[in-house]
Amino acid sequence: DADVTQTPRNRITKTGKRIMLECSQTKGHDRMYWYRQDPGLGLRLIYYSFDVKDINKGEISDGYSVSRQAQAKFSLSLESAIPNQTALYFCATSDPPGAFGAFFGQGTRLTVV
Amino acid sequence: DAKTTQPPSMDCAEGRAANLPCNHSTISGNEYVYWYRQIHSQGPQYIIHGLKNNETNEMASLIITEDRKSSTLILPHATLRDTAVYYCIVRVGRGRGGSQGNLIFGKGTKLSVKP
């Protein structure tokens, strides 16, 4: 089983629909992250959480919300999807800096039509 | 967290060493240098990290200058499978709140290994 699992892997949704992307991890890490990646661009941080009660906005949080249901689960929601949210989304987990690097999921390819 | 500057692209011949530079001139004393790579559209993969000493593992070597303002990732014998985008990140070593310890990615260096 993968250390970081994202569901769904692919999703097509309509403009205005609410959609949730889910992430679960088996690493026992406190820190979890959501990123989006657009073609030809690097990863941009949407939200991050350092523990269940600590959630913070990243570089591009507008139009997104998150929920940290447990140490192992971190969900990303698009309340009302729009076409420019079409992107590849990645979830990641990590120990505090100085330890090993972060682990990433395989990504969710989201298309908003 | 300090920002980094990397060349947008580099080529390397298969079997030769690939040396990927990164500038992080505003790095502070408690920030680590991390390297990741992303092959095609897969999730990024951790390669190596260091604070001030050079580091080596089974994937690569990391050379950090004495003033810590720049570093070089070395893939000693590049293969076609090393073709990927390589990201250099600096990251605070302590702290939980705010943006401390965030993983902020730039655009990276696209390394093309050619036969």
Distance, in Å, from the CA atom of B25 to the CA atom of A110, rounded to the nearest integer, reads: 37
Whose tokens are 């079409």? That residue is A86
Cβ atoms < 10 Å from Cβ of A67: 14
Contact B46 A43 (CB under 8 A): no
- Closest by Cβ to A42, choosing from B92, B93, B107: B107
Alpha carbon of B59: minimum distance to chain A alpha carbons (Å): 14
Chain B residues at the A interface, defined by Cβ less than 8 Å, are: 32, 34, 36, 41-47, 49, 51, 85, 87, 91-94, 96-99, 101-108
Summarised one tens digit per residue, pLDDT across range A17-48 is 999 999 999 999 989 999 999 987 788 999 99
* Residue B40 near residue B21 (C-beta atoms within 8 A): no
Position B6, amino acid: Q
pLDDT of residue B97: 41
pLDDT of residue B99: 47
pLDDT tens digit string along B7-28?
Answer: 999 999 999 999 999 999 988 8
Who among B32, B36, B42 is closest to A98 (CB)?
B32
Evaluate the omega torsion of the peptide bond into residue A8 and state whether it is cis, within 30 degrees of 0. Answer: yes
**Separation of alpha carbons B104 and B1, rounded Å:** 8
- C-alpha A30/C-alpha B115 separation (Å) is 42
Stretch B67-77: mean pLDDT: 96
Indicate whether A99 pLDDT > 70.
no
Chain B neighbors of A42, CB-CB under 8 A: 85, 87, 105-108
